[in-house]
């Protein structure tokens, strides 16, 4: 039986910190589903399909090894997706105590609802201060986001728009 994990997030946009968690999850589990989810509490910069495409490109460019699938889910609970694909683990990157406080109740409820465990991965210290919202703000104000995101994302965000 293969061990399947889901790495969920809004990934708006995917950062180097996200990519680090995806890479480490792929080394730990037989199959990793990177799941772009709709967060009704956030206004997205990028459409879901664009986020999926950028993650796929970033994973390919980084030559990450392992069985990594990138997809999206916008209807139903995260644990519904986990049950559908046979995943017993959710992997979440956490940067601070604020993330722990936010993620812990969800982890408990996910375990209660569908016996899906959550594993928290600490970030590479080089990326611990970076969030997607920070990247969006820097990009919106014309700053260089290249140190914080995969090249595909940097190129996309900094390309001239019509």
User: Which positions are annotated as active-site residues?
Assistant: 18, 42, 95, 132
Sorted by sequence, the CB contacts under 8 Å of residue 82 that are 6+ apart come out as: 6, 88, 90, 110, 114, 116
Helix (H, G, I), strand (E, B) or coil at 152: helix
Q: Choose among 78, 46, 61, 48: nearest CA to 16.
A: 61
Nearest partner of 20 among 87, 69, 91, judged by Cα = 91
Helix (H) or strand (E) holding 101: helix 97-114
Pairwise CA distance, residues 136 & 12, whole Å: 8
Phi/psi at 50 (5° precision): -70, -40
* Rounded Cα gap, residues 71 and 33, in angstroms: 7
């Amino acid at each position: 039986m293969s061990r399947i994990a889901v790495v969920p997030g809004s990934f708006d946009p995917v950062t180097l910190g996200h990519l680090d968690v995806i890479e480490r999850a792929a080394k730990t589990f037989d199959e990793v589903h990177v799941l772009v989810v709709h967060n009704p509490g956030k206004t997205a910069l990028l459409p879901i399909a664009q986020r999926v495409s950028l993650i796929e490109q970033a994973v390919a460019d980084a030559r990450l090894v392992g069985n990594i699938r990138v997809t999206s889910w916008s209807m139903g609970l995260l644990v519904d997706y986990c049950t559908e694909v046979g995943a017993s683990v959710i992997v979440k990157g956490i940067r601070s105590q604020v993330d722990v406080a936010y993620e812990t109740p969800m982890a408990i409820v996910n375990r209660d609802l569908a016996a899906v465990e959550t594993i928290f991965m600490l970030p590479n210290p080089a990326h611990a201060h970076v969030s997607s919202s920070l990247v969006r703000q820097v990009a919106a104000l014309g700053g260089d986001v290249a140190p914080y995101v995969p090249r595909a994302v940097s190129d996309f965000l900094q390309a001239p728009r019509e």
